Chains A and B, each alone.
Chain A
């Protein structure tokens, strides 16, 4: 038996496999496909203070190597989450991470405050890709100082672990990582979707009603891996890798690059049993490689100068 447990701040997980926000429901909807007891944690879709209707259809489009979405953070708001989702996840045999979003720093602080004392929640993940209405609708996670303000505001109202979920759509993600670490984040999730778009040249129609949207899936894995690695090299808090992961090998690549845990997103759409299955395969895969503790693999990536040698 390989020891698969990892820690994200004070939060101990049975294994390093989490679901990614917005790709596995709010609560336990998917238990018939992946039982909660199989994964390290379930991460909710982003919850906001007020209900959000989301964007018009079409909201999704598949491309050669990935998936575009413009859901627009559709969710029924925090009151609904408290009334309907928290009772469902209470006592679930896994860690529950609530992903929160907002339109202003005050929104984030308020929603974290509203949820801070809820025992059902084990940690918060702060979605920094939400547009900042007071900042020209630029996502919070594109300016280090602004991202730090959000994390500080959340940190101030809760003693639960706080994960800062970063956007890859920045010039230097390491600057973001350093900023949120300084602001008190317990872990970093890297990354959210890349900005992308698709158009049919014959009709001139964009694939998404919002024209641009978030790009995810297999095509972003190299970008996500690079982002996660860059974060891990520049901070001392744990990094949760996310982007294009669809097999146990992919998981191990992210761990070697410095991640303590990973999230499975778009891949669950094609196979909602995948998070549980990958978690189940980790033990055998590590045992075959003679590794006794998953922690022993984390950050073992070699220097680039050794890339060519055996």
Chain B
């Protein structure tokens, strides 16, 4: 049976600060009781406050950044759990279970370019991935990061991707209301880049964002026969593989097809579209 990753632990942590970002987001900086080695982007942690303000079940969040022995999370306020975290006072005690999940595959410098598609707070796992790839010597010109949202304020923290753009990564934004960047969604933007010959037809896709977007990416990958990886955000009751609350249907003809469901928390959250299907 899939077990949690061998480096996952329950750690106590202190909230260092909460920085508001965009219309409804925060960047939460927490200091765990001991420093963690550099982590793969799109691995995640289960977070909750220990002062009784959080719901019983901790909530999953991707690692956004590691700085000065701290972990940062980019969090969109949705309901009880995210609100309690966003409103936590400095010094608040948190429980942090992780690092969990598999994370993005390594971006290599060979063969097709990489197109990273983020939707809203689905931006969280990308900048760290790009940093790590550049540090490993991947040419910045091979990475194209397209970030979309309903409106400008839901693109959240733009300073970091803009800094990456200055170092040669292509970074483009799209908003449904046209308040920032391309007027439309990231898939529309991708089509336009293709139509204008701005991007080779053969690319590899990574995507994280709302369900309709991930469905569209899965469809696109299938139609164009592209390699694609999706970072999924199912409901999670435990994050460590023991509640069975996070099933993702596997593709019968794929490498996980021997069983009908994969566990998002311990077999994901990143899956290739050859492994699973959003239906």
**B-contacting residues of A (Cβ < 8 Å)?**
22-27, 29-30, 32-33, 45, 51, 53-54, 56-62, 66-67, 69, 71, 74, 76, 84-85, 217-218, 266, 268-273
Chain A to chain B: the 9 pairs with minimum beta-carbon distance, closest first: A60-B245, A29-B3, A269-B238, A60-B237, A71-B244, A53-B260, A62-B57, A26-B1, A59-B245
Check if B95 is an interface residue, CB within 8 A of chain A.
Answer: yes
**Which residues between 22 and 47 of chain B lie within 8 Å of chain A, taking CB atoms?**
none
CB pair A272–B97 under 8 Å, yes or no, is yes
Instruction: Spot the interface stretch: B6-14, B154-162, B174-182.
Output: B6-14
A270 to B94, CA, bound (A): 12
Given the interface pairs A25-B1, A60-B237, A272-B10, the reply to whether A74 lies near B56 with Cβ below 8 Å is no
A196 to B178, CA, bound (A): 45
Closest Cβ of chain A to B212, distance in Å, is 16
A19 to B119, CA, bound (A): 40
A59 to B97, CA, bound (A): 22
Given the interface pairs A26-B1, A57-B235, A270-B48, the reply to whether A33 lies near B57 with Cβ below 8 Å is no
CB pair A32–B242 under 8 Å, yes or no, is no
CB pair B1–A85 under 8 Å, yes or no, is yes
A305 to B97, CA, bound (A): 46
A268 to B57, CA, bound (A): 10
Given the interface pairs A60-B235, A270-B58, the reply to whether A30 lies near B1 with Cβ below 8 Å is no
Among residues of A, the one whose C-beta sits closest to the C-beta of B279 is: A56
- Inside 8 A of A266's CB, which chain B residues have their CB? 56
Check if B234 is an interface residue, CB within 8 A of chain A.
Answer: yes
Not counting A32-B8, A271-B97, a sample of 7 additional A-B residue pairs whose C-beta atoms are within 8 angstroms of each other reads: A32-B9, A59-B244, A59-B247, A69-B237, A71-B243, A217-B56, A270-B56
A66 to B55, CA, bound (A): 10
Looking at chain B, what size class is its interface with the partner chain? Answer: 20 to 34
CB pair A33–B240 under 8 Å, yes or no, is yes
A30 to B2, CA, bound (A): 10
Closest Cβ of chain A to B142, distance in Å, is 36
Among residues of A, the one whose C-beta sits closest to the C-beta of B239 is: A269
B57 interface neighbour in A24, A53, A67, Cβ under 8 Å: A67
A143 to B18, CA, bound (A): 55
A71 to B8, CA, bound (A): 24
Among residues of B, the one whose C-beta sits closest to the C-beta of A207 is: B235
- Inside 8 A of A84's CB, which chain B residues have their CB? 1
B95 interface neighbour in A33, A51, A53, A271, Cβ under 8 Å: A271
Closest Cβ of chain A to B178, distance in Å, is 29
Among residues of B, the one whose C-beta sits closest to the C-beta of A268 is: B242
CB pair B4–A29 under 8 Å, yes or no, is yes
Closest Cβ of chain B to A205, distance in Å, is 13
CB pair B245–A71 under 8 Å, yes or no, is yes
Closest Cβ of chain B to A41, distance in Å, is 16
- Inside 8 A of B58's CB, which chain A residues have their CB? 270
- Inside 8 A of A268's CB, which chain B residues have their CB? 238, 242
- Inside 8 A of B238's CB, which chain A residues have their CB? 268-269, 272
Check if B148 is an interface residue, CB within 8 A of chain A.
Answer: no
Among residues of B, the one whose C-beta sits closest to the C-beta of A44 is: B1
A71 to B235, CA, bound (A): 13
Closest Cβ of chain A to B165, distance in Å, is 37
CB pair A29–B8 under 8 Å, yes or no, is no
A57 interface neighbour in B10, B56, B247, Cβ under 8 Å: B247
Closest Cβ of chain B to A69, distance in Å, is 7
Check if B120 is an interface residue, CB within 8 A of chain A.
Answer: no
Contact string, B249-279, partner A, CB cutoff 8 A, digits 1/0?
0000000000111000000000000000000
- Inside 8 A of B2's CB, which chain A residues have their CB? 29
Among residues of A, the one whose C-beta sits closest to the C-beta of B54 is: A270
What are 23 A-B pairs at a CB distance below 8 A? A27-B1, A29-B1, A29-B2, A29-B3, A29-B242, A30-B242, A32-B4, A33-B9, A33-B240, A45-B244, A54-B247, A57-B245, A57-B246, A59-B235, A59-B244, A59-B247, A69-B243, A69-B245, A74-B247, A74-B261, A272-B10, A272-B242, A273-B10
Given the interface pairs A54-B261, A271-B10, the reply to whether A24 lies near B247 with Cβ below 8 Å is no
Closest Cβ of chain A to B243, distance in Å, is 5
- Inside 8 A of B125's CB, which chain A residues have their CB? none
CB pair B242–A25 under 8 Å, yes or no, is yes
- Inside 8 A of B260's CB, which chain A residues have their CB? 53
